[in-house]
Structure 1
Amino acid sequence: MAEQLKLGFVPLLDCAPLVVAREQGLFREQGLNVVLSREASWSSIRDKLNYGLLDGAQMLAPMPLAATLGLGSPALPSCSLMSLSRNGNAITCSVPFYQRLYEQADGETSPTALGSALRQQLSQLGRKPVFATVYPYSNHHYLLRDWLSRSGINPDTEIDWRAIPPAQMITALAQRRIDGYCVGEPWNSLAVLQGHGLIVAPGQQLCPEVPEKVFAVTQAWAEQHPESCAALIRALYQACHWISQCRDKQALLELLALPPYLDHSLLPLLETGYQHHWGSAPLHQQFFDPQMNAPSPLQGQWLVRQMLAAGQLSAADAELANRRLLPQVFRIDLFEQATRAMMPQA
């Protein structure tokens, strides 16, 4: 195994498996010496993995496939060793923009009603609405496009898009540089608590059970470090199970709020007692389920469909991905080998 491993993460609630694995000594139990590196953006994660500055990282579920296909950057064959979480995203709009939609919808607050209101507002705004996501190859991007399309809005011609790192979303919203965004927690709940935003829809209302974050390495690293790969999978799988069994969510938040991780940004949630609940819609963020944690090529098929619908893939590349690449990217074989003797039940 490697003497010391450097793993990257972006400060979101669903970096929890990496934080728990380190703080609860689960990496150490597997013979690993792990340093966690907080990164500002997903492009930073991608580039540092490419240049060997990180050994592995928390990634958006589509990123290993996008990297392997060379979408948005030089091709870097990568693989997902396990899924870390599903759900946990939301679409949030600035308070003034939400109020426009609310009034147009005659006080209805369903995603369908607010989406229809946005469509009706297009001719009255005098400009394209500006929406942000964290990365083009992300479920945030696909969920937002899906909501817009269902609302009768063409996401390619009627929306002005921005890419903004998660921790900078609220500032952009407060400064009125954007009208709304789709991002993971805590940046939706914090926007509400700080009075800058209101939530249009949790992601699981639009597309439930979507894998959100994965743990990924390059394919070359996986081939060169098979024992470390297995140990990382086991430690992170145990961490996901630990989170699912943790009854003291406040204690989990306090772990995440330590300075190396989300730091002071979580203070408002700690002070108010975060309940994983947005209005009348529960968050349903999930970290553990044996079927979910396994990086199945079936997950990849869903992602290929989203990339194709977003115009990010040609039909030929989509066929190549489905026929050849998905088993190389979604390494369910490595996951099953590493966890066969430990499989806890959900």
Structure 2
Amino acid sequence: MTTSKRLYSEHQPRFAIAPMMAWTDRHCRAFHRQLSRHALLYTEMVTTGAVIHGDRDKILGFSDLEHPIACQLGGSEPEAMAASAKIVEDWGYDEVNINVGCPSDRVQSGAFGACLMLEPQLVADCVKAMKDVVDIPVTVKCRIGVDEQDPEPALDAIADAVVTAGADALWVHARKAWLKGLSPKENRDIPPLDYDRVRRLKSRFPDLFIGINGGIGDLELAETFLPEFDGVMLGRAAYHTPQMMGEVDRRVYGDTGEDISPWQAVEAYLPYIEARLSEGARLSNITRHMLGLFHGRPGARSWRRILTVEAVKPGAGTEVVEKALAAVQPQDHADDDFSESDIGSGEAA
């Protein structure tokens, strides 16, 4: 499709939702698409072994409405990465991304993710192998370093290697990852942010698409980065308070239409929910991504309670969502006390 061929040639993905394990599945992405027509959406990280040998419909399946959509791969063998990238392209994705940032034990045992910050030439070999077999953009998402690495040479080494290999874009999470001593959750908060390090990288590569990620909690902060970088990527903040995405098309992409309200997004999402339920999906697996939609608004607690309690019941259908939506009509005061514990904690990839 034409979208994939112009994603980075015209610097289109100015706003992206980060790949997050256990969160950015197909239901989440379809929901987020109701709030923004333009935001670039990412899959959860999928391993090359799963793509090549697993149930591809389960692993890679998505709805046409999700475009533009990128698939993030986890792996470190150039041949397997190339084979997986070709499968991803044939499946219809607009971009394939290499995970060089996740610090979990799972990826460390597989010698990929943030471990690859220590092997820039291997990442470059993967990029080249993938570029040789696909026409869609091949991109890299990395950290500024790992463990005791000095972020100055570490980030330059990865960037130099993948640019030489032909990478179309680099998304940088502006913190180190500690492979030992910190959990994945702690790695999202404890290592200090260093946006200036990413600024220096951008000054070295003014013509390369460089997007910034890490600690960006709202659109106000995101907008401050757009004059400096080609794109901004939000993760947990967008997931927990997705209503902000209803303003993205206007504030980031310059659309002149009205913002999409949470109510409009839910109404637009109902046909998708009905379609997935007819295929055997459980309502709770779909609605769990919607719990934070009305954060800070009157009735938000009732919205969450109805979805949490009733969506798990056998035979639950869209009537549950409609009931929950009716509970968040304007009231005299907000009753919200939303916290991350309401919906678990995702692992950014």
Indicate whether the TM-score tops 0.5: no
TM-score (norm 2): 0.26
TM-score (norm 1): 0.27
